[in-house]
Amino acid sequence: MFLQNQTVNLSLRDYKTIALSILGGALEVYDFIIFVFLSVTIADVFFPPSVPEWIRLLQSMAIFSVGYLARPFGGIVIAHFSDKIGRKHMFNCTVLFMAMPCLLIGFLPGYAQIGIWAPLLLLVARLIQGAALGGEVPNAWVFVSEHTPPERRGYALGLLQAGLTLGYMFAALTTTLITSHYSDGEIRQWAWRIPFVVGGIFGFISVWLRRWLSETPVFLELKQHRQLAKQMPLKTVFQEHRSAAIPAAILTAMLASAVIMAIVVTPIALQKYYGLSPSATFEMSCIAILFLNIGCVIAGKVTDWIGPWRSVILYSILLALGTTLLTWSLNHSLQTLMICYIIAGLCSGIISAVPAVIVRLFPSAIKVTGISLIYNISYSICSSVMPLALLALLHYHRWGMAVFAWVMMAIGLITVMMFRHIRTYNA
């Protein structure tokens, strides 16, 4: 049937699980991304003043990028123990591993105080953060999906994805508050530390709150029946589930493209190529992210109604249409642009549709490892390549991002046609 069974509702306990997962996940995204918003100041604080400013900025962004390189390694290590000893234990560890280095950065002396040790310690902190984030997202998907009924899994994952993207908004809001309340000198001297200290403190609060979470029923059943992975989960993935890697990687690229186009590239393009002021761009971005979150929740509902694969088809098409509409509006009034940006955010439901498919591609005994391996490698590559490619396309032609979205739509539709009958696991 086209519509799925809708007789099962989420319980209060399910909503508590989702809420605590969202809290930790949003804080982790905040802790990770706040670095890029303050990259110019961080470059001044942690690198020698004798080095040219543009080189210091490149060094700062290189340390930021190292966090992405650490994601696959950290994700695989955390996923291994998640599949072997329990989802809950590692779910708490990921927040802890993000909170500690975030707080460390907030108190870390600069180059003027400890010399070369300043950028080296900053690098170590970013590596730990990257590894933690690599474990958080796959673990969160599995934790929430294994706690909620299959008939409501899409909606639960939609709520989770909406919460994760709020981390970008929190980071942008915090940075704006700091820059509007303190002078450039004060920010460079000490105020830049506030967002990191706040993020670290709230991270530790999230660790404390997550202690109320319970282990997933699926893992407890696996443990009770001694069906946990008998060998390394990573080895099982390579030996028995290679066929699931291709659709998982492509669908992750679809998810990454939606996030990068809406949250990363569009704000840059609005300022660089269309002359919008930073304040106007920030306001538009926050509103668009808010509606993107709403779109994620709606997409989760739709996924439960029509099924994950059909939802990928629908939102692949909507992503292309929404991006095209946004591109068309760039040469029109700010009001028209804002409306089209909102519509594009609502059309980005592929961010929710993709997890609903990926959590079904691997069996429960090695689910976190399978998802973490493919998701982190694919997302890291996309995060490194896509922003630069999209900005280059926009530089040469104003319809470049729209063309890219249509290409991604075609890839998504082909992926569904080729893999929709692949074996899936509902638990």
| Residue 68: pLDDT over 80 | no
Cβ–Cβ under 8 Å, residues 348 and 322:
yes
pTM value > 0.85: yes
Pick 347 or 222 by higher pLDDT. Answer: 347
pLDDT of residue 264: 78
- Sign (positive/negative) of CA torsion 395, 399, 401, 403? negative
- The residue behind tokens 């080296």 is 120
| Residue 278: other Cβ atoms inside 10 A | 12
**Percentage of the chain lying above the pLDDT 90 cut:** 35
For residue 427, pLDDT beyond 70: no
Confidence of residue 308 (pLDDT cuts 50, 70, 90): very high
- Per-residue pLDDT at 297: 95
378 or 1, greater pLDDT = 378
The residue with greater pLDDT, 56 or 211, is: 211
Q: Which structural domains are found in the chain, ordered by start? A: 12-228 (1.20.1250.20), 231-427 (1.20.1250.20)
Give the closest residue to 88 by CA, choosing from 217, 205, 201: 217
Q: Which residue has the higher pLDDT, 302 or 267?
A: 302
Q: Is the model's pLDDT at 408 over the cut of 50?
A: yes
Average pLDDT, integer, range 108-114: 91
What angle (nearest 5°) sits at the alpha carbon of residue 394, between those of residues 391 and 397? Answer: 155
- Of 261 and 273, the structure prediction assigns the larger pLDDT to 261
pLDDT in the model for residue 166: 82
Query: Looking at 21-30, 233-242, 327-336, 374-383, which range is the least confident one?
Result: 21-30
Which spans in 182-277 are helix H? 184-186, 193-210, 217-224, 233-240, 245-259, 266-272
Helix %, strand %, coil % of the chain (to 5) = 85, 0, 15
Look at residue 377 in the predicted model and tell me its pLDDT.
92
Q: Tell me the C-alpha distance between 86 and 124, whole Å.
A: 27
Token reading at 151? 């008939």
Q: Please write the tens of the pLDDT for every residue from 124-176.
A: 998 888 888 888 889 999 999 998 988 899 999 999 999 888 887 888 788 77
Cβ neighbours, 10 Å, residue 231: 9
Q: Give the pLDDT score at 57.
A: 64
pLDDT band at 3 (very low <50, low <70, confident <90, very high): very low
**At a CB cut-off of 8 Å and minimum separation 6, what does 55 contact?**
none
Q: Is 388 exposed, middle or buried (0-12, 13-18, 19+ CB in 10 A)?
A: exposed
As a whole number, mean pLDDT of residues 246-269 equals: 90
How far is residue 75's CA from residue 77's CA, in Å, rounded to a whole number?
Answer: 6
Residue 286 has a pLDDT of: 83
- DSSP structural state of residue 4: P
Taking 70 as the threshold, does the pLDDT of residue 228 lie above it?
yes
Q: What per-residue confidence (pLDDT) applies to 28? A: 67
Contact call for residues 240 and 370 (beta carbons, < 8 A) = no
At residue 52, the pLDDT reads 78
Handedness of CA 166, 88, 230, 69 (dihedral sign): positive
Which tens digit of pLDDT belongs to each residue from 350-407? 999 999 999 999 998 899 999 999 999 998 888 878 887 888 888 788 898 999 999 9
Mean pLDDT lowest among 61-65, 117-121, 349-353? 61-65
pLDDT digits (tens, 9 = 90+) for 337-349: 899 999 999 999 9
State yes or no: pLDDT of 219 exceeds 80: yes
pLDDT in tens, 311-343: 999 999 999 999 999 999 888 888 898 999 999
Pick the more confident residue, 35 or 287.
287
58-72, 227-241, 333-347, 403-417: least confidently modelled range: 58-72
Confidence (pLDDT) at 2: 43
Measured CA to CA, the distance from residue 360 to residue 144 in angstroms comes to 13
